[in-house]
Amino acid sequence: MHFSTKAEYGLKAIVNLAKCYPEQKTIKEIASQEDISQKYLERLLGTLRDGNVIDSVKGKNGGYTLAKNPKKITAGEVIEILDGDISPMRCVGKFCAMEKKCPSSIVWNKLGMQIQKTLYGIKLSDLVK
């Protein structure tokens, strides 16, 4: 299983915001501190805003902040917003016509559940200590 750079950089950016919660930061500040392209970061933060984990304020005094307390946002939530379903195989978590005939589906389903359990058990507040 491989996560995308969207998940990697998005998680770095949102942890950066968690460190200063409830204060806001600009894209320029986050990009500089996390060594992420501003243009790429802008797209990631737009997706996270659409996923309701961050808020944005436009204008001269604008910036980004978490939409809720870091104790209420999980790594799994952020990764799924940016990467989609978390699963080790394409058929995990979805209907698979071969599931009843595929003995290995048990392995992939259990693995998928454990990955989700782990990622949803990590809160942003755990990452800022």
The pLDDT > 90 percentage for the chain reads: 68
More confident residue, 3 or 33: 33
For the chain, which residues make up each domain, given as ranges?
5-127
Which helix (H) or strand (E) is 92 found in, with range? none
Integer Cα distance of 26 and 32 in angstroms: 10
**Mean pLDDT, range 94-119, rounded to an integer:** 79
Over residues 53-99, the pLDDT tens digits come to: 999 998 888 899 999 999 999 999 999 999 988 777 766 656 666 66
Give the C-alpha separation, 22 to 43, whole Å.
Answer: 22
Distance in angstroms (rounded) separating the CA atoms of residues 18 and 12: 10
**Predicted structure pTM score:** 0.86
Q: Are strands 63-66 and 54-57 parallel, antiparallel or unpaired?
A: antiparallel
**Per-residue pLDDT tens over the stretch 21-34:** 999 999 999 999 99
User: Both tokens of residue 16?
Assistant: 């950066």
Distance between CA 117 and CA 121 in Å, rounded? Answer: 6
Compute the mean pLDDT over every residue in the chain, rounded to the nearest whole number. Answer: 89
The more confidently predicted of residues 1 and 62 is 62
Q: Please give the Cα distance from 53 to 74 (Å, whole number).
A: 10
* Segment (H or E) for 26: none
55: β partners: 65
Architecture of domain 5-127: Orthogonal Bundle (1.10)
21: alpha, beta or left? (left if phi > 0; alpha if psi -120 to 50) = beta
Give the pLDDT confidence score for residue 96 in this predicted structure: 66
